[in-house]
């Protein structure tokens, strides 16, 4: 029989209140994000130390740095003037980047960020150290965060627990340095992604170009433009870079293609647009002013516009199977600004009369992204991987280990008849799973699912959906597929009771302390049945706060001690966090999973989903009066009527093992008594009696 400990309520409530107060009042001593570069206010000298004075560059977004003799020392740029790469928070990392005339990065400095893991958790010094490591590296080098097999790439270590942040920071620094380098003329696009157009002997058909990704497509309906309610195309555009002979030679008449190619300078490319619909992509401004105002290309924040001197008319296309187009054009992308090895956007600016005046028009902008496939353009050394793909490359071994472990756990539940057939076998499997999850998944991999992922999912569903945000954390992405499937089938207990690293750590602590003879404690029913609703209250409060202010929501989610356990050493955090972490750890010595049962918002959210589970532990009608399993149920999930509360059950399967145990389950013991008395003389009679019991399952 457990002792009672009412004081636990006051202690735990005080600790939670203190933690929440600390999170809500903690502020960051940083100014709001700068909107423009001003080296008189920003520490430009830190990223370009060779310079003693700075001046804004005319008609450009960067500043020029000069040394004491007035010689050019390099350039400084603010990242948000050049790229808008979103980090984990959905906001960019505002970064100063310095570049010298040899195209070498002289320094980088984070000016402002909104990353929750760095606002409360991982020390910011780790991010600053990571960013500082770029000094001395050439902007044209391929720099990869994590492991890489590319021979020409430089590998740098990630920050554990902030993978998305550092991957976004890597792209930010390199893109800014390269963009500035191209603008000032110290970098050519060919230096960034050197490659070549592929030459195939036979021209592709139009269908092959579309199916193989050689052509992009942008369709704008009349309804999109507000011209009418019709779904008929206002413009239907096919477009692509046409230097490759099996593409350009198919879209353009062979003689014209050879002529256009012969006139190209280094870094210039043919760009084809084919259009149909009720409107034109050419417009009329090029006739009056020499500028095509309806279409342009964007690559990063580089903008490529076309003039009449860049234009050749394309009245038809000889490509086999090509549909009938109303108009076509071959443009020359000049200035070395278009990189065929990276994605780009075609932007169409549509206009219509808005009927508010004789010459009043309504303008609407539409865009479509495209990237040449490797069968058309091959980048030497391989293409830069998107952030989420690089994350999967970095953690592919860990992902395989995690998938194998989760499949084993699923197998244990699929084979429940075998698993629960022997209590000792079940106990060994459970202990093994707990130790593996805590040591390998938790301590080694640092992969602990959290309520913050639930909050991010809710925010993304309501706001902007970003698949790459979820894919950029491979282990958590795998975890959540597992959690969703198993919770709907067997309830939250599969994850909470067999896989959750923190929960299993506290259970292991409790089991060890019990083996050592330490007295265990349990809350009285009047407190237990009330306090277990606290976790639901926490998750219900967190959702609207997170939607209102994601940073504050992440801070309040620190009620979960997961970061302090697996990502950041607890003793390196504030005294209140460390005290809260120690309190939960200490209570776990005397109580069974105190955090999981009363405070865990993730467990609360999954408990709600568990209400709809398909398959719970097997029960018999007799279980309504038998209390054998109830006394041994540590989560206290078995209710007065003998039914199991799916929201509290941790799927230890001990009650189901009792269900099959002839030495514990009273109905099965009754069968043996009948055998002893001689009432069951034949094996068939015993089998019949067991079948009757099986039909009594509820």
What pLDDT score does 23 carry? 47
Cα separation of 375 and 240, whole Å?
14
Cα separation of 319 and 246, whole Å?
10
What pLDDT score does 594 carry? 92
Q: Which residues lie closer than 8 Å to 435 by C-beta, 6 or more apart?
A: 504, 508
Cα separation of 104 and 30, whole Å?
29
Residue percentage of the chain with pLDDT more than 90: 38
- Helices 451-462 and 534-548, packing angle to 10 deg: 40
Half-sphere exposure of residue 143: CA atoms within 13 angstroms, side-chain side:
27
**Residue 300 predicted with pLDDT over 80:** no
**Residue 582 predicted with pLDDT over 70:** yes
With 0.75 as the threshold, say if the pTM is over it.
Answer: no
Which residue would you say has higher pLDDT here, 257 or 638? 257
Residue percentage of the chain with pLDDT more than 70: 80
pLDDT band at 406 (very low <50, low <70, confident <90, very high): very high
Distances (CA, A) of 496 to 135, 449, 499, 643, 648: 45, 10, 6, 20, 10
DSSP annotation of 308 reads: G
Q: Which residues pair with 3 in a beta bridge?
A: 521
- The alpha carbon of 416 is separated from its chain's Cα centroid by a whole number of angstroms, namely 34
**Residue 18 predicted with pLDDT over 60:** no
Most confidently modeled of 36-45, 373-382, 682-691?
Answer: 36-45
Most confidently modeled of 29-33, 112-116, 119-123?
Answer: 112-116
pLDDT band at 50 (very low <50, low <70, confident <90, very high): very high
What pLDDT score does 27 carry? 36
**Residue 680 predicted with pLDDT over 60:** no
What pLDDT score does 225 carry? 87
Q: Tens digit of pLDDT for each residue in 635-672?
A: 787 777 777 888 888 888 887 777 766 667 766 666 56
**Residue 297 predicted with pLDDT over 80:** yes
Question: Contact 317/274 with Cβ under 8 angstroms?
Answer: yes
pLDDT band at 175 (very low <50, low <70, confident <90, very high): confident
What pLDDT score does 383 carry? 61
The total of other beta-carbon atoms located within 10 Å of residue 313's CB is 10
What pLDDT score does 205 carry? 95
User: Residue 65 in 3-state DSSP?
Assistant: strand
- Helices 474-490 and 601-610, packing angle to 10 deg: 40
**Residue 364 predicted with pLDDT over 90:** no
Q: Tens digit of pLDDT for each residue in 536-580?
A: 999 999 889 888 887 788 788 888 898 888 877 778 777 888 899
Cα separation of 485 and 592, whole Å?
26
Average pLDDT over residues 372-399: 81
Cα separation of 147 and 157, whole Å?
8
Q: Which structure tokens are listed for 383? A: 């293409």
Distances (CA, A) of 309 to 123, 269, 286, 305: 55, 14, 10, 11
**Residue 630 predicted with pLDDT over 80:** no
Q: Which of 381, 52, 8, 11 minimizes the C-alpha distance to 192?
A: 381
Report the mean per-residue pLDDT for the chain: 82
Q: Which of 13, 33, 34, 20 minimizes the C-alpha distance to 120?
A: 20
pLDDT band at 148 (very low <50, low <70, confident <90, very high): low
- The alpha carbon of 53 is separated from its chain's Cα centroid by a whole number of angstroms, namely 41
What pLDDT score does 455 carry? 80
pLDDT band at 195 (very low <50, low <70, confident <90, very high): confident
**Residue 679 predicted with pLDDT over 80:** no
Half-sphere exposure of residue 459: CA atoms within 13 angstroms, side-chain side:
24
Which residue would you say has higher pLDDT here, 91 or 96? 96
Question: Contact 76/61 with Cβ under 8 angstroms?
Answer: no
What pLDDT score does 193 carry? 66
- Helices 7-25 and 575-590, packing angle to 10 deg: 150
Cα separation of 566 and 578, whole Å?
13
What pLDDT score does 385 carry? 67
Q: Which structure tokens are listed for 79? A: 């990242």
pLDDT band at 5 (very low <50, low <70, confident <90, very high): very low
Q: What is the DSSP string of 163-228?
A: HHHHHHHHHHHHHHHHHHHHHHTS--HHHHS-EEE---SSPPPHHHHHHTTSSEEEEEEHHHHTS-
Q: By mean pLDDT, which of 34-38, 141-145, 190-194, 358-362 is the weakest? A: 358-362
What pLDDT score does 625 carry? 65
Q: Which of 61, 55, 59, 96 minimizes the C-alpha distance to 79?
A: 96
Q: Which of 338, 279, 274, 277 minimizes the C-alpha distance to 306?
A: 338
Which residue would you say has higher pLDDT here, 166 or 619? 166
Half-sphere exposure of residue 218: CA atoms within 13 angstroms, side-chain side:
25
Half-sphere exposure of residue 405: CA atoms within 13 angstroms, side-chain side:
28
Owner of token pair 């890597």: 170
Cα separation of 348 and 351, whole Å?
10
The total of other beta-carbon atoms located within 10 Å of residue 678's CB is 7
Which residue would you say has higher pLDDT here, 572 or 161? 572
What pLDDT score does 572 carry? 76
Cα separation of 272 and 322, whole Å?
14
**Residue 17 predicted with pLDDT over 60:** no
Q: By mean pLDDT, which of 8-22, 109-123, 254-268, 503-517 is the weakest? A: 8-22
**Residue 389 predicted with pLDDT over 90:** no
Q: Which of 576, 460, 580, 438 minimizes the C-alpha distance to 508?
A: 438
pLDDT band at 292 (very low <50, low <70, confident <90, very high): confident
Q: Which of 302, 280, 275 minimizes the C-alpha distance to 292?
A: 280
Give start and end residues of each alpha helix (H) in 395-466. Answer: 396-414, 416-419, 423-436, 451-462
pLDDT band at 24 (very low <50, low <70, confident <90, very high): very low
**Residue 28 predicted with pLDDT over 50:** no
Q: Which structure tokens are listed for 494? A: 């599969």
What pLDDT score does 323 carry? 93
Average pLDDT over residues 215-235: 90
**Residue 143 predicted with pLDDT over 70:** yes
Average pLDDT over residues 203-212: 95
What pLDDT score does 624 carry? 66
Question: Contact 277/236 with Cβ under 8 angstroms?
Answer: yes
Q: Tens digit of pLDDT for each residue in 588-628?
A: 999 999 999 999 999 999 998 888 888 777 766 666 667 77
Question: Contact 119/555 with Cβ under 8 angstroms?
Answer: yes
């Amino acid at each position: 029989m457990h002792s009672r400990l009412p004081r636990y309520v006051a202690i735990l409530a005080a600790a939670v209140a203190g933690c929440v107060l600390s999170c809500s009042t903690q502020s960051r001593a940083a100014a709001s994000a700068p909107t423009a570069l001003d080296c008189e206010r920003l520490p430009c000298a830190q990223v370009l130390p060779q310079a003693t004075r700075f001046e804004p560059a005319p008609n450009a977004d960067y500043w020029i740095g000069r040394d004491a003799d007035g010689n050019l020392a390099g350039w400084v740029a603010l990242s948000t003037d050049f790229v808008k790469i979103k980090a984990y928070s959905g906001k960019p990392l505002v970064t100063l980047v310095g570049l010298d005339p040899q195209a070498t990065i002289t320094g980088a400095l984070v000016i402002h960020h909104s990353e929750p893991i760095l606002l409360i958790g991982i020390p910011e010094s780790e991010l600053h150290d990571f960013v500082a490591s770029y000094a001395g590296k050439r902007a044209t080098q391929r720099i990869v965060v994590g492991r890489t097999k590319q021979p020409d790439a430089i590998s740098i270590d990630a920050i554990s627990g902030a993978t998305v942040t550092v991957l976004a920071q890597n792209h930010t620094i390199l893109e800014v340095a390269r963009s500035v380098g191209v603008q000032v003329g110290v970098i050519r696009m060919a230096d960034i992604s050197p490659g070549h157009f592929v030459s195939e002997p036979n021209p592709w058909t139009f269908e092959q170009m579309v199916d193989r990704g050689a052509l992009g497509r942008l369709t704008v309906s009349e309804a999109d433009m507000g011209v009418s309610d019709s779904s008929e195309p206002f413009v239907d555009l096919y477009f692509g870079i046409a230097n490759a002979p099996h593409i350009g030679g198919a879209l353009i008449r062979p003689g014209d293609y050879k002529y256009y190619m012969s006139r190209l300078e280094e870094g210039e490319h043919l760009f084809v647009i084919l259009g149909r619909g009720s409107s034109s992509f050419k417009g009329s401004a090029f006739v009056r002013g020499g500028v095509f105002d309806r279409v342009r290309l964007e690559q990063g924040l580089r903008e490529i516009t076309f003039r009449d001197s860049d234009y050749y008319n394309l009245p038809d296309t000889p490509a086999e199977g090509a549909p009938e187009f109303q108009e076509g054009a071959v443009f020359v992308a000049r200035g070395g600004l278009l990189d065929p090895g990276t994605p780009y956007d075609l932007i169409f600016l549509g206009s219509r009369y808005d009927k508010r005046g004789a010459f009043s028009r309504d303008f609407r902008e539409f865009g479509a992204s495209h990237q040449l496939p490797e069968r058309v353009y091959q980048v030497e050394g391989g293409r830069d991987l998107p952030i989420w793909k690089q994350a999967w490359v970095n953690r592919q071994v860990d992902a395989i280990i995690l998938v194998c472990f989760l499949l084993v756990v699923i197998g244990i539940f699929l084979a429940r008849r075998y698993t629960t057939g022997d209590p000792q076998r079940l106990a060994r499997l459970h202990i093994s799973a707990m130790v593996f999850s805590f040591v390998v998944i938790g301590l080694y991999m640092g992969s602990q699912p959290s309520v913050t992922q639930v909050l991010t999912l809710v925010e993304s569903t309501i706001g902007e959906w970003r698949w790459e945000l979820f894919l950029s954390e491979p282990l958590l992405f795998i975890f959540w597929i597992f959690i969703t499937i198993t919770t709907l089938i067997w309830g939250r207990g599969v994850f909470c009771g067999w896989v959750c690293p923190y929960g299993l750590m506290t259970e292991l602590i409790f089991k060890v302390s019990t083996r050592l003879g330490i007295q265990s404690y349990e809350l009285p029913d009047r407190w237990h049945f009330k306090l277990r609703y606290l976790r639901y209250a926490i998750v219900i409060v967190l959702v609207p706060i997170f939607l209102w202010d994601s940073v504050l929501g992440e801070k309040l989610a620190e009620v979960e001690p997961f970061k302090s356990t697996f990502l950041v050493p607890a003793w390196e955090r504030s005294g209140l966090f460390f005290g809260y972490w120690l309190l939960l750890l200490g209570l776990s010595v005397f109580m069974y999973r105190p955090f999981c049962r009363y405070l865990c918002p993730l467990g609360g959210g999954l408990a709600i989903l568990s209400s709809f589970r398909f398959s719970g532990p097997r029960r018999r009608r007799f279980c309504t009066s038998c209390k054998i399993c109830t006394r041994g149920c540590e989560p206290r999930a078995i209710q007065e009527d003998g039914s199991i509360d799916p929201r509290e059950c941790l799927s230890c399967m001990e009650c189901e093992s009792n269900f099959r145990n002839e030495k514990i389950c009273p109905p099965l013991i009754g069968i043996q008594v009948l055998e002893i008395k001689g009432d069951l003389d034949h094996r068939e009679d015993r089998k019949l009696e067991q079948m009757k019991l099986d039909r009594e399952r509820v």
